[in-house]
Amino acid sequence: MASARIGISGWRYQGWRGDFYPKGLAQRRELEYASERLGTIEINGSFYSLQRPSSYRAWFDATPDDFVFAVKGGRFVTHMKRLLDVDEALANFFASGILALGPKLGPLLWQLPPTLGFDEPRLSGFFDLLPRTTTNAV
């Protein structure tokens, strides 16, 4: 059965402190707080740089059992390499620790640059490189 989740695109927003986040809540507890109120949150730091395996494990530990993360693919792949010649970059992305999210790993979001027009062969080639299961991503 299909399900829908309501979430946010990150959890560290200074402007939310004292409004969404209670006054005095330690920044290190913001993910925990948000994940108790929403079913999913996007990890968008992975767009800007590879994250550490220890970070993915800490995020896993800070969230409820039924929580799901959406992980944003790296801009190096999408904006700099523009989906071409990305075998090594994809291997590095998947080796960075996202599989430590285990059952909390939800969709991967690949945000394409607005200047990248539709190019079916380029997209098909990129899609062919993506693993179809977490076992294939190792």
Q: How far apart are CA 129 and CA 123, in angstroms?
A: 10
Please give the residue range of the domain that contains residue 86: 7-129
Q: What is the pLDDT of residue 128?
A: 96
Q: What is the pLDDT of residue 125?
A: 97
Query: Can you tell me which residue has the tokens 């005095």?
Result: 24
The count of structural domains within the chain is 1
For the chain, residues with pLDDT lower than 50 are none
Q: What is the pLDDT of residue 2?
A: 80
Amino acid at 110: W
Residues 6+ apart with CB under 8 A from 93: 46, 50, 73, 74, 77
Assess if residue 138 is contained within a domain.
Answer: no
Assess if residue 73 is contained within a domain.
Answer: yes
Q: Which CATH number fits the domain that encloses residue 36?
A: 3.20.20.410
Assess if residue 49 is contained within a domain.
Answer: yes
Q: What is the pLDDT of residue 3?
A: 83
Q: What is the pLDDT of residue 135?
A: 81
Q: What is the pLDDT of residue 84?
A: 97
Assess if residue 134 is contained within a domain.
Answer: no
